[in-house]
Amino acid sequence: MRRHVTRLGMAMLMLVPLGSCAPGGDAAAPSAGEDAAASLAEAVMGSITVEGLERHARAIVQYERPSGGPGENAAIDSIVASLRADGVPVEVHTFDTYASDPVSASVRVPAAGLTLPAITMAYSGSASSLRAPLVDVGGLADLPDLEVGTGELLALEGGSAMDGERAGLPDVRGSIAVVEGQPRNVPTAVLALLGAEGVIFINPEERLNDLIVTSTWGTPSLRNYSRLLDIPSVQVTKSGGDQLRSLLAAGPVTAEIDAEVWTGRKTLRLAVARIEGPTPDAPYVLLGGHIDGWYHAGTDEGASNAAMVELAKAFHAERERLRRGLVVAWWPGHSNARYAGSTWFADHYFEELRDRAVAYLNIDGVGQIDAVRLSSTATASMHSLARRVVREAVGQEELPGSTPGRNSDQSFNGVGVPLLQFNHARSAEDGGYWWWHTPDDTYDKIDFDVLSADAGLYARAIAHLTADPVLPIDMVAEVEALGALIERRSQQAGGRFDLSEASGRQRALLERVRGLAASLSGHDGPDLDRAMLAVLRPIYRVMYDPIDPFHPDPGFSVGLLPGLAPVTILAEEDPSSDRYLFAETTLVRERNRLLEALDLALLEAERLQGRLGS
Ligand SMILES: [Zn+2]
């Protein structure tokens, strides 16, 4: 065991109460902390090698890895054996989920003697020779009113008062609807609610991308299993779609579709490496990425899995330097069980995550050949760390950033954990990410120099998060972002919904966290980490989580501050209509939720200010 002086030193630091400066806690302390993170990052990056990344990636990508299958299990075994060989503690959980595997599909127009290559999607309904007239409903992008349907799906949890005519759609009852665009869950659900018998998605490119059409998230529960769809949906290539549309241009077309999908209970395994902080209950950073994937899943995401192995080993070797632990999880059930692994972990480790997790770093799809464009997906509190890491790593000053969506194993919004993901994408001129979710996502699509650099970004971010005395989490940016969102929802309501009280409380909170941010320097310790997260948690839960923190939200986005999404209904609807009344009632309740969150955050901020003694 290599733990003595450093760890004892840290234990002493943690006993220093908030409100008095840690030893050396003058102006020099933060830079000492930054030096610690910088030298930790250097040490970690120094032990991550291209050879190591290649070895792990080859061991993983050799298998096809649909979740719950022998290939995924072999890849998990290989990762676990490699970690244990280096003494990294790793646990393997086993749990049941509700998975869905597409098996086969076809699309035929018997009268024209036409048979098109097709696939079906995870969680599609099954059909054998379903025969019905085709109705072309246009492209996903041509149907903005589907967004209104999204809001109603969200508000009504499965029911819908939606009127297809108002949405500008042709009558799809009894038909097979034809839609241009990659398969998505909301359009599928909307077409099912409008009475379509089946859906044919036309891929906008000359390929077929494996996808998922359920709007459940993780294993369905009693609250949301009614969202599972019976409607069969299939996908054809662009040229296949052109053939269908040219037949439709000449007159009515009756088509037949087959879709075979296996959906049911499946046992999955989840490997979790735990690199302890200075004490067994120390706060930790959670790093996660999915182990399963479509076909050989080279860049989505055997490459990222390999980087995770190297990061786990490297941080384990440097564990004496950590102020906080690192937990690394290889999520199963991402692709054919709709984020079942990360959701299971959020469900079963909810209190531990709430009390100890200081950030969730998601890794997905890094290490692609010819990747040129860096960006981040993050909660507002994490953008400044992302920018700083990229500036330190590659000298790039600007970093495009997006806000968390409903994808990529982002299962921890309800727990209230800040999120950061680095993205490294190819240019459109190079054909973009054309092999994504296809059999062409093979080992040769990984560039190990790119992967090594991408792993370096995560190494730097984790080094700051595990070694900086004060967590590099920007509370001010998060509260500012909330203020902008309240303002935006107020504008969307067109003067029909009053959010002025919420704006006033947000301004009071902002003033308080600005004061806090200025007085954090020179303090440290797990109690400070927890107190900072406690200020942010209520804010995350309203900004990123529409229903409640304990039940996963539907797997689609209605934008940030999602509970207030129905303000658009007020702006466009006749105030005397039933729909207006239902939307307004929803919004009054959601405003109560927002006001309570602001009050809780303010209370926590005042408590922290009191403990800092300034
Ligand atoms: Zn992925």
Report how far ligand 1's centroid is from the alpha carbon of 311 (Å): 18
Report how far ligand 1's centroid is from the alpha carbon of 39 (Å): 31
Contact 612, 520 (CB under 8 A): yes
Same domain? 427 vs 495: no
Q: Which helix (H) or strand (E) holds 191?
A: helix 185-193
Q: What pLDDT shows up at residue 439? A: 97
**d(C-alpha 495, C-alpha 563), whole Å:** 18
Average pLDDT over residues 455-478: 98
Q: What pLDDT shows up at residue 192? A: 87
Confidence band of 476 (pLDDT split at 50, 70, 90): very high
Six token digits for residue 498: 């009053």
Report how far ligand 1's centroid is from the alpha carbon of 408 (Å): 6
- Closest C-alpha among 489, 596, 483, 465 to residue 541: 596
Confidence band of 614 (pLDDT split at 50, 70, 90): low
Report how far ligand 1's centroid is from the alpha carbon of 257 (Å): 29
Same domain? 463 vs 314: yes
| Segment among 163-167, 259-263, 552-556 with least mean pLDDT | 163-167
Domain stop point among 450, 467, 484: 467
In a domain, 200, yes or no: yes
The neighbouring-strand residues paired with 92 are 271
Domain stop point among 236, 264, 292: 264
Q: What pLDDT shows up at residue 193? A: 82
Domain stop point among 441, 467, 493: 467
In 3-state terms the chain splits into helix, strand, coil percentages (rounded to 5) of 45, 20, 35
Long-range CB pairs of 388-392, under 8 A, 24+ apart, other chains included = 388/464, 388/472, 389/422, 389/457, 389/460, 389/461, 389/464, 390/422, 390/457, 392/38, 392/460
Q: What pLDDT shows up at residue 165? A: 59
Q: What pLDDT shows up at residue 166? A: 58
Same domain? 446 vs 552: no
In a domain, 149, yes or no: yes
Report how far ligand 1's centroid is from the alpha carbon of 363 (Å): 8
In a domain, 481, yes or no: yes
Helix axes 146-156, 185-193, angle to 10 degrees: 80
Contact 416, 439 (CB under 8 A): no
**pLDDT > 60? residue 29:** no
- The total number of structural domains in the chain stands at 3
Average pLDDT over residues 596-601: 98
Report how far ligand 1's centroid is from the alpha carbon of 302 (Å): 9
Q: From the CB of residue 243, how many other CB atoms can be counted at a distance below 10 Å?
A: 16
Confidence band of 546 (pLDDT split at 50, 70, 90): low
Confidence band of 163 (pLDDT split at 50, 70, 90): low
Q: What pLDDT shows up at residue 31? A: 54
Instruction: Return mean pLDDT, the chain.
Output: 90
**d(C-alpha 570, C-alpha 574), whole Å:** 8
* Structural domain boundaries enclosing 316: 41-89+276-467
Cα distances (Å, whole numbers) of residue 315 to 322, 397, 478: 8, 27, 29
Residue 325: phi and psi, rounded to 5, are -80, 180
Whole-structure pTM value = 0.92
Average pLDDT over residues 569-593: 92
Report how far ligand 1's centroid is from the alpha carbon of 447 (Å): 16
Residue 301: phi and psi, rounded to 5, are -155, 60
In a domain, 15, yes or no: no
Six token digits for residue 290: 């999915």
Helix axes 50-61, 448-467, angle to 10 degrees: 110
DSSP assignments along 468-495, one per residue: -SS----HHHHHHHHHHHHHHHHHHTTT
Report how far ligand 1's centroid is from the alpha carbon of 290 (Å): 7
DSSP assignments along 358-375, one per residue: EEEEE--S--BTTEEEEE
Same domain? 415 vs 522: no
CA 137 to chain centre: 30
Same domain? 494 vs 595: yes
Report how far ligand 1's centroid is from the alpha carbon of 459 (Å): 20
Q: What pLDDT shows up at residue 66? A: 96
Report how far ligand 1's centroid is from the alpha carbon of 366 (Å): 9
Q: What pLDDT shows up at residue 30? A: 43
Report how far ligand 1's centroid is from the alpha carbon of 411 (Å): 14
CA atoms within 13 A on the CB side of 327: 24
Same domain? 545 vs 517: yes
Report how far ligand 1's centroid is from the alpha carbon of 299 (Å): 8
Same domain? 242 vs 376: no
Same domain? 284 vs 423: yes
Same domain? 129 vs 190: yes
Q: From the CB of residue 596, how many other CB atoms can be counted at a distance below 10 Å?
A: 12
Cα distances (Å, whole numbers) of residue 138 to 128, 185, 245: 25, 16, 10
Coil/strand/helix, residue 551? strand
Report how far ligand 1's centroid is from the alpha carbon of 407 (Å): 9
Coil/strand/helix, residue 582? helix
Report how far ligand 1's centroid is from the alpha carbon of 400 (Å): 20
Six token digits for residue 473: 């989490």
For residue 169, the 8-state DSSP code is P
Place of tokens 């050989």: 296
Contacts of 47 (CB under 8 A, 6+ apart): 310, 313, 314, 317
- For residues 192 and 4, which has the higher predicted lDDT (pLDDT)? 192
pLDDT tens sequence across 147-158: 444 555 544 433
Q: Which CATH number characterizes residue 172's domain?
A: 3.50.30.30
Same domain? 154 vs 295: no
Report how far ligand 1's centroid is from the alpha carbon of 253 (Å): 37
Contact 467, 36 (CB under 8 A): yes
Query: Which residues sit with Cβ closer than 5 angstroms to ligand 1, an ion?
Result: 300-301, 364
Q: What pLDDT shows up at residue 227? A: 86
DSSP assignments along 264-329, one per residue: EEEEEEEEEEEE--SSTT--EEEEEEES--STT-IIIIIHHHHHHHHHHHHHHHTGGG-SSEEEEE
At residue 283, what is the residue type?
Answer: P
Same domain? 294 vs 433: yes
Six token digits for residue 334: 């991402």
Report how far ligand 1's centroid is from the alpha carbon of 57 (Å): 15
Same domain? 490 vs 590: yes
**d(C-alpha 204, C-alpha 181), whole Å:** 6
In a domain, 13, yes or no: no
In a domain, 28, yes or no: no
Q: Which CATH number characterizes residue 357's domain?
A: 3.40.630.10
Among residues of the chain, what percentage have pLDDT more than 70? Answer: 90
Place of tokens 């934008």: 559
In a domain, 127, yes or no: yes
- Closest C-alpha among 415, 534, 517 to residue 470: 517
Report how far ligand 1's centroid is from the alpha carbon of 377 (Å): 14
**pLDDT > 50? residue 10:** no
Contacts of 463 (CB under 8 A, 6+ apart): 37, 38, 40, 41, 44
**d(C-alpha 502, C-alpha 594), whole Å:** 7
